[in-house]
Structure 1
């Protein structure tokens, strides 16, 4: 499974999901369970209107590539990039993803995967 951070306002259940980065960079930024906190803390600190989409790569009908971050992560982490809209069938779970006092952490339901 891979993860994508979005906002409550931008996600429409049952509809193909696309983020502005699909038009500007050609792909949707995603993460895995061990790296999702990196872009979350860097880009969304203090936000409480976020959702975490859990995406099944086997259900995508567009290419998925693991590549260096955009911009590159200082520690060299690679991230999954989805090269097209995410179809509704590929989103297997949706979790609230608020920033806590120590930044972002995986929701309780997903912590097993991040360990």
Structure 2
């Protein structure tokens, strides 16, 4: 299965140097949140529009092959009372699990 994560170019470049991606979401680390936020193909544009619309730094969409993850991932609601589920990655994302990187523009 493929899941997606929006990243700033600088965070993605740092992950490639460090060997692991540890940004949960914009301005929040994996250590702070406990997981990395991800989305399905039908969700990432809404996430971009809601949370990244005012970002001036270039963004990339990371396409992640869940079969290549070496940590657990789970589909779950992002907050209590929310019905829609999103993929959450419970550990650092290794760049080797990212099968495509596509530049995207904020809206």
Q: TM-score, normalised on structure 2? A: 0.81
The residue aligned with 2:66 is 57
| Structure 2 gap segments, 5+ residues each | none
CA change 1:63–1:85 in 2 (3 A) is same
What is the CA distance between 1:69 and its match in structure 2?
A: 1.9
What is the TM-score when the length of structure 1 is the normalising length?
0.76
CA RMSD of aligned residues (A): 1.8
Aligned residues: 98
- Residue from 97, 103, 113 that aligns with 2:104: 97
Contact conserved, 1:67 with 1:79, CA < 8 A, in 2?
Answer: yes
Q: Secondary structure at the match of 1:9?
A: helix
Name the CA shift for 1:54/1:71 in 2 (closer, same or farther; >3 Å). Answer: farther
Residue of 10, 17, 20 corresponding to 2:21? 17
* CA distance in 1: counterparts of 2:55 and 2:47, whole angstroms: 13
- The alpha-carbon deviation at position 39 of structure 1 amounts to 1.6
Give the unaligned 5+ runs of structure 1: 104-115
How has the CA–CA distance of structure 1 residues 46 and 72 changed in structure 2, closer, same or farther, with 3 Å as cutoff? farther
Deviations 1:34-85 (A, max 9, x none): 0112221111114351110000000001010001124765xx3210000011
Cα 1:47–1:72, aligned 2, differ >3 Å: closer, same or farther?
A: farther
1:77 is matched with which residue: 68, 72, 84?
Answer: 84
Which structure has the highest strand share of the two?
Answer: 2
